[in-house]
Amino acid sequence: MRINVLPTKRFKTFALSLFVGIPLTESRVTPVALTPFVLRRGTSSYPETISFRERLDDLYGAGFGFDLYKRGDYQIVQLRLDVINDRFVSSQQPLLREAVAFLGEALTSPALENGRFRTRYVEAEKTTVAKRIEAIVNDKIRYAAERCVEEMCKDEPYRLLAIGRKEDLASVDADSLYRDYQDWLSNAVIDLYVSGDTSLQEVLPLAESAFKLPAGSPQSYSPPELKAPRQEPQTIVERLDVAQGKLNLGLRTGISYGDSRYPSLLVYNGVLGAFPHSKLFVNVREKASLAYYASSRLDGHKGLLTIQSGIEIDNYEKALGIIREQLEAMKQGQFAAEDIERTKAMLSNQLREIQDSAYERISFDFNNVLSGAERTGESLLADVQAVTPDAIAEAARGIGLDTVYFLRDRKGEG
């Protein structure tokens, strides 16, 4: 496990983040997704969920939670714990030490019965995960976004949802999940972050005593495979009981987070669709009145850019035509200087706001670990400000449309 300490006197709390990443695979994705749901139920010292939560209350209401997501071709579990700095309370216990100990036990000493996970915890959390997966299907905006990526990356691990697959849950039991958990810990890339008024010298011995991990050197993340777009974009039409169409496009940029061209791609995405002044919002939604929403989103760790829009079903051809016109305009350098400046201002505000949140600072630094880049918020801010119109157009010319996905009603089906 790597230990990363971000010393600061800016906050009154210690923020702890534990990132556990493993390559996305069909066989692992569901057990890995289920694991943090089970880990949050109890530890060896606090095996009942109520005692687990009471321990957090004892630590002056420390907050504990987790996230599941994809970065590149990795599935990452992030465990978070924040606790107040001892200097601001009359605590009889060193709270940073107790917080690290709690997080270490939550990951490496879970509540067990007969040498495996507790059956009632596993079965209850299987239901929780199933409902999370069902919620994606019921949220048609998210469903369309996920399906577009799934079709675009159908031959890549990235097609898999970080929350796993519902059809796999039935075969998971307490015994198999515990074996998968042990395999996960043995093979994962693990990073512990601590942000607050502390130092590596203080945190290192605390972590060494708190985490019961397999011996060995910390592993590293491999760079993602950046595939070229299809020579001819594929079109996928899916029919469900919906009143509003969802038109999503998937594009491959050839640029990932560690690339020197990444700042140009950030500005490109901002001018195209990330903000209210962007081309997609103005031309597709405002001027043509063809969309209820229209925006673009960038996944820098996979080099993908996706466009999302909600449209009247009969407006499919018109909306697709205008979206493609905006993509072509970007390649031709047809964007106003004012739009570039507004985009840079928006990006600059976002980058400055990172400094106001301990967890945002941690996430930004973790991007470097994932990508092998060595960026600071200040250096990325300077690079964004230095992006030229030519650099934006050059990035645009390297971006290719791969997949058009349209979710529509069942009218005329069959």
Q: Measuring CA to CA, which residue among 359, 141, 332 is closest to residue 246?
A: 141
Interatomic CA distance for residues 348 and 359, integer angstroms:
18
Give the residue-averaged pLDDT of 187-202: 96
Q: What is the pLDDT of residue 317?
A: 96
Residue 10 carries which side chain, given as an amino acid letter? R
Kindly list the distances between the CA atom of residue 339 and the CA atoms of 74, 279, 286, 335, 343, in Å, as whole numbers in the listed order: 34, 9, 16, 7, 6
Compute the mean pLDDT over every residue in the chain, rounded to the nearest whole number.
95
- Give the pLDDT confidence of 32-79 residue by residue, as tens digits: 999 999 999 999 999 999 999 999 999 999 999 999 999 999 999 999
Interatomic CA distance for residues 320 and 134, integer angstroms:
29
Q: What is the pLDDT of residue 88?
A: 87
CB 75, CB 221: distance < 8 Å:
no
Give the residue-averaged pLDDT of 307-317: 96
Q: Is the pLDDT of residue 215 over 90?
A: no
Q: Which residues pair with residue 20 across a beta bridge?
A: 77, 190
Supply the angle between the helices 26-39 and 119-138 in degrees, to the nearest 10.
110
Give the residue-averaged pLDDT of 199-217: 93
User: What number of other Cβ atoms are within 10 A of residue 115's Cβ?
Assistant: 7
Q: What is the pLDDT of residue 324?
A: 97
Give the residue-averaged pLDDT of 135-141: 95
Q: Is the pLDDT of residue 414 over 70?
A: no
User: What number of other Cβ atoms are within 10 A of residue 125's Cβ?
Assistant: 22
Which residues, 6+ apart, have CB-to-CB distance to 46 below 8 Å?
Answer: 52, 54, 55, 105, 111
Q: What is the pLDDT of residue 412?
A: 76
Interatomic CA distance for residues 369 and 366, integer angstroms:
5
Give the residue-averaged pLDDT of 160-177: 97
Give me the domains of the chain, ranges plus CATH numbers.
2-210 (3.30.830.10), 234-408 (3.30.830.10)
Give the residue-averaged pLDDT of 321-343: 96
Q: Is the pLDDT of residue 145 over 70?
A: yes
Kindly list the distances between the CA atom of residue 90 and the CA atoms of 9, 12, 54, 113, 347, in Å, as whole numbers in the listed order: 19, 14, 19, 37, 41
- Give the pLDDT confidence of 275-300 residue by residue, as tens digits: 999 999 999 988 888 889 999 999 99
**Two structure tokens written together for 145:** 């976004």
Q: What is the pLDDT of residue 236?
A: 98
pLDDT bin (cut points 50, 70, 90) of residue 217 is confident
Give the residue-averaged pLDDT of 337-359: 96
Higher pLDDT among residues 15 and 215, named by residue: 15
* pTM for this prediction: 0.95
Q: Measuring CA to CA, which residue among 171, 191, 142, 162 is closest to residue 33?
A: 162
Percent of the chain at pLDDT above 70? 100
Give the residue-averaged pLDDT of 222-245: 94
Give the residue-averaged pLDDT of 211-227: 89
Q: Is the pLDDT of residue 327 over 90?
A: yes
